[in-house]
Structure 1
């Protein structure tokens, strides 16, 4: 199945002081809206991150559902962003659908 929402906000932060690059899309700036928040560290992962499986990108959903290494594909088609997730990450992200489309 596919979950589709209209993104009214898009952002990105590429600030070395933050220690990671961040990007996201959201329905609104209110907490009730759906959003996807992508993050990836600038630094090489340390032994602890590797041991915990946190040595890759991270995705955060509105209720702070978080999964590492869960993104399988990201596609842009005109005004559509399609993100395909590893179905095994859905519980961690508190999602039901492994394909998310932002218009």
Structure 2
């Protein structure tokens, strides 16, 4: 367990529950086709939404976070400049999507 894992586990944060918690963090800072492989790791993560919201809220510029690349996150930020709470916005979008498909 890394220092980050111990800190996250101690405070009960979402990061302690991520599928990536035991993986090499450098693996999430890749380019090109490798990004698609990393995104598949995020797809089934139980805290994907929290991870993505944190990256968007904090304008994290590099790496795959919450299943999105830096380019995808930049586009989302440009398309929705008025969003101040990304977790809330993503949760609403997920709920609407589930209602349409369910």
Normalising by structure 2, we get a TM-score of: 0.26
TM-score (norm 1): 0.26
Q: Which has the higher strand share?
A: 1
